[in-house]
Structure 1
Amino acid sequence: MNLRQDESRGESYIKSSGRCRCAAAAESVSKTAATAPVASYNLRCPGVKRLMREAAELATPENEFSAHPTETNLFEWHFTIRGPEGSEFEHGIYHGRIIFPTEYPMKPPSFILLTPNGRFQTEEKICLSISNYHPETWLPSWSIRTALVALRSFMLTPGNEGAIGSINFAPEERKKLAIKSRNWSCHECGPIIKLLPVQKPDNSNSAKEVGNGDATVEGKTSDAAPPTPQATDVVPKRQTSAEVAPTQNGHVKDSNPVTSPSTAAPNADNQDAISARNLETNNFALEQQQQHNEPIKNIIYDLGIGCFVVLILALCFRRLLSIFSQA
Structure 2
Amino acid sequence: MAVESVSVGFKVYCLTVMTMVAATYTVALRYTRTISSGDMYFSTTAVCLTEVIKLLLSLAMLSKETGSLGRLKNALVEHILSSPKELLKLSVPSVVYAIQNNMAFLALSNLDAAVYQVTYQLKIPCTALCTVLMLNRSLSRLQWGSVFMLCVGVTMVQWKPAEASKVQIEQNPLLGFMAVAVLKSSDTSLWVRNIQMYISGIVVTLVGVYITDGHNVQEKGFFFGYTPWVCFVVFLASVGGLYTSVVVKYTDNIMKGFSAAAAIVLSTVASVFLFGLQITLAFASGALLVCVSIYLYGLPKLDTSKLPQKDADKELKEKLISV
| Fold in common (TM above 0.5) | no
Q: TM-score normalised by the shorter chain: which range applies?
A: under 0.3
Write 1 or 2 for the structure with the bigger share of helix: 2
**What TM-score does the superposition give when structure 2 sets the normalisation length?**
0.25
**What TM-score does the superposition give when structure 1 sets the normalisation length?**
0.24
Q: Which has the higher contact order (CA 8 A, sep 6+)?
A: 2
Structure of higher CA gyration radius: 1
Write 1 or 2 for the structure with the bigger share of strand: 1
